[in-house]
Amino acid sequence: MAKDPNSMVFDENGYRLRASCLCFRDSTEQEVALVTSRHHHGWVVPGGGIEHGEDAEHCAIRELHEEAGVIGSSTGLLKVFDNDAKKTKTTVFTAVATKELDTWPEAESSLARRRGWFTLQEAHKHLSQIKPVQKLYIEEMLSRSSGHAT
């Protein structure tokens, strides 16, 4: 779905503000939700542009629902990632799934998104193929799990 350019939010440096959500299936944090990409053949982290009047955390949880069909409860901020090549700044939150829906907005649309649950290592492998910036989200999570936050 193409975004209305008037609904996009930018920072003072001209970076488009985005939010994403690394959502775990449960509190063990063993599996994370990814969705099929609308632009490539592969898997991506649910996320999208922050809308006017919306905070980053709300956006991340909204995108999780719209793209992955998961209702989640935020467990906090992971990190803010800059993508200089695309001029985006993405605030990434972690969450735990509270409900998986059978149908959801972007599964029912022409996008026909699918949801998958992957270990952090599997997710890293998938993201390395088409979304190298998003693989950094997984690396940050893995470093925190091992006690070496960056």
Within a 13 Å sphere around the CA of 98, how many CA atoms are in the beta-carbon half? 9
**How many residues in the chain?**
150
For the chain, give percent helix, strand, coil, nearest 5.
Answer: 30, 35, 35
**H-type alpha helices, the chain:** 56-63, 105-108, 120-130, 132-145
Q: Is 133 helix (H, G, I), strand (E, B) or coil?
A: helix
**Amino acid in position 52:** H
CA 106/CA 38 separation, integer angstroms: 10
- CA 91-66-53 angle, 5° bins: 50
Active-site residue flag, 29:
no
- Given the residues 31, 63, 66, 106, select the one marked as catalytic: 66
Catalytic residues: 66
